[in-house]
Amino acid sequence: MSAAAEAVTDALRELHTRFAGLRDGQLADYIPQLALAEPDAFRLALISMDGHRYSTGDADVPFTMQSVSKPFVYALALSVLGLDEVGRWVNAEPSGEAFNAISLEPATGRPDNAMVNAGAIVTTALIPDTPDAPGFDRILDCLSRFAGRQLDVDEQVYASEAVTGDRNRALAYLIRSAGPLPVDPVAAMETYFRQCALRVTTLDLAAMAATLAHGGVNPLTGVEVVPEPVAAQVLAVMATCGMYDASGDWLLRVGLPAKSGVSGGLIASGPARFGLATYSPLLDPTGTSVRGRAAFGALSERLGLHLMHNPALAGSTVTLVTTADDLPSAQAGPWERARRERVAVVAAQGALDFTAAERVLYALDEARPQETGAAVLDLRQVTDIDPVARAVLQSGLGRLVEGGVRTAVADPAGHLVLLPGAGEQDERTALRPFDSREEAVAWCASGLAD
């Protein structure tokens, strides 16, 4: 790793040092194998949207996923069946109850959400066997693609939970008796226990969290694991329900979609930013890693990761030049004319989304193009434009043209190539794309009324 990027690992190391001494909490012992975990183990990993990996502690040592598997199986169910169909069987409301609560909605028999055990059992049951693959193989394949490598089952942990998992079995029978879902409790529990016993490393979990943050595309492999809308739906349910009866407090203090598991694994996703994972098996009463919670809280605060913080710094993607005054004065002819007439020139830079497009259009209006009858939008420094920003800009520029403004776009990369009606307008007010700002300004100025 380069020296500069070591700074990110340093930040993780610092958190590790700061919280390694925390000895609060208990090992989960209702699954006997989990009580054998090393209480001092503490690992942290972060994976960026470019697939850069950072970690500290033994981030390559495996442990079982437990409930951290739930959002990924939910993602699979959503991509196979769609939100409406999945929503018929499992709701998306925070339950305010413990992960293993024996509780279903009275009116419908649905579990509250897919993050508590009852909901996760339903989600698992929604992935049926197909002629090609048993339900569990489909889950294994999907979760392996989230991780970017082939995962396997810890047979000892699986067997340990299968022996002691009566409460979950009871839930499966309750679900079958309370609602119309044709759950086979025995088969569903077999698959659910195996999914909980899937073996991952801390770096695997960070890759899985990063894939959700990256719109469903694994940033390490480039593979689209689930469609982008599904990734957003899963993050939404993680944000509201992922930490069970501590979800509200978590969103308030840490401010990231997250999911914990009783082995001590914990993930958090910063949408379009990174995937985070930690492993440390001492748990608080809600079943969340004590060190993991402390580390993610501190990291969020220190790096300003809370989702509700003011997201983009104003001006970071848009530069605004309001008149042709800034054009090089040596240029004669149409340039001189453009300067004299104060033709509006607005320049944007960086990646344009809806927010940036709104600023651009507002700046165009502020430059009062109706008074001069001409406007130039300079997109030469724009690196990317999303479909929403393109549509909003096209419609805004269309309005200017309709209002009689001669409008030119310096757009050598063709960000707005689909300009509606370009060339169909009358020559004086047409909307025209140009390769350079000079040509765009000259064309605008040459058409100004005398």
Ligand X SMILES: NC(=O)CC[C@H](N)C(=O)O
Catalytic residue among 244, 247, 318, 360: 244
| DSSP string computed for 216-254 | TB-TTT--B-S-HHHHHHHHHHHHHHTTGGGHHHHHHHT
In whole angstroms, what is the distance from residue 317 CA to residue 379 CA? 11
- Report how far residue 75's alpha carbon sits from residue 148's, in angstroms, rounded to the nearest whole number: 16
Q: Is 259 a catalytic residue?
A: no
Residue 252 CA to its chain's centroid (Å): 18
Binding-site member from 33, 117, 233, 300 for ligand X (CB under 6 A):
117
Candidates 262, 364, 419, 422; binder of ligand X (CB under 6 A) is 262
- 115/344 with CB nearer ligand X: 115
Q: List Cβ neighbours of 87 (8 Å cut-off, separation of 6 or more).
A: none
Cα(100)–Cα(98) distance, integer angstroms: 6
Please name every residue paired with 371 in a beta bridge, in sequence order, or none if there are none.
none
Q: Is 74 a catalytic residue?
A: no
d(CA 442, CA 317): 26
407 binds ligand X (CB under 6 A): no
Q: Which of 56, 66, 280, 394 binds ligand X (CB under 6 A)?
A: 66
Q: 194-213: which residues touch ligand X (CB under 6 A)?
A: 196
Tell me: does residue 289 bind ligand X (CB under 6 A).
no
Q: Catalytic residue, from 70, 200, 230, 346: name it.
A: 70
Which is nearer to ligand X, 99 or 250 (by Cβ)?
99
Examine the residue annotation and report whether 144 is marked as an active-site residue of this protein. Answer: no
Q: Is 100 in the site for ligand X (CB under 6 A)?
A: yes
| Residue 280 near ligand X by CB under 6 A | no
99 touching ligand X, by CB under 6 A: yes
Task: Give, in degrees to the nearest 5, the angle at Cα 62 between 59 and 65.
Answer: 110
312 class by beta-carbon count within 10 Å (0-12 exposed, 13-18 middle, 19+ buried): exposed
Separation between Cα atoms, residue 211 and residue 335, nearest integer Å: 49
Q: Which is nearer to ligand X, 30 or 354 (CB)?
A: 30
CB of 39 to ligand X, least distance (A): 17
Nearer to ligand X, 66 or 233 (CB): 66
Q: Which of residues 125-154 bind ligand X (CB under 6 A)?
A: none
Nearer to ligand X, 168 or 211 (CB): 168
Count of residues interacting with ligand X (CB under 6 A): 11
The residues, any chain, with a CB within 8 Å of residue 131's CB and separated by 6 or more, are none
Q: Which residues make up the interface to ligand X (CB under 6 A)?
A: 66-67, 99-100, 117, 161, 168, 196, 261-262, 287
Active-site residues, by number, are 67, 70, 192, 244, 262
